Amino acid sequence: MLFHRRSRGDNVHQGDVFRKAGTYGGVWVVERVFEYPDIPPHVRLVERHKSRAMTVAADLLFDSEFFTRISGPQDGAE
């Protein structure tokens, strides 16, 4: 690959906590980070205290239209 830009998604770790934007946003915790050689990193998110889960591209977590970071494992999050 001639051009490789480090993805902001590289800074996501298991246990990081994000608030999803919107009326029914909720608080989501990174359960797992998926790293494959042919696609950008993805994460599995689980909603705190609920049963919903979703998988999204890790970069989406840094788009303020969709998510806001609340804390990471170093901050004492779950």
17-61 confidence digits (pLDDT tens): 999 998 888 999 999 999 999 999 999 999 999 889 999 999 999
- Asked if 65 contacts 11 with a C-beta cutoff of 8 angstroms, the reply is no
Q: Which residue has the higher pLDDT, 72 or 32?
A: 32
The mean pLDDT of 64-77, rounded to a whole number, is 78
Residue 54: HSE in the Cβ half-sphere, 13 Å Cα cutoff: 15
Q: In angstroms, rounded to a whole number, what is the distance separating the alpha carbons of residues 17 and 73?
A: 8
- Inside any domain, residue 10: no
- Asked if 14 contacts 74 with a C-beta cutoff of 8 angstroms, the reply is no
Unique residue bearing structure tokens 């889960």: 53
Q: In angstroms, rounded to a whole number, what is the distance separating the alpha carbons of residues 11 and 30?
A: 12
- Inside any domain, residue 50: yes
- Inside any domain, residue 1: no
pTM of the model: 0.79
Count of domains forming the chain: 1
Structural domain of residue 52, as residue ranges? 16-75
Q: What is the pLDDT of residue 3?
A: 41
- Inside any domain, residue 24: yes
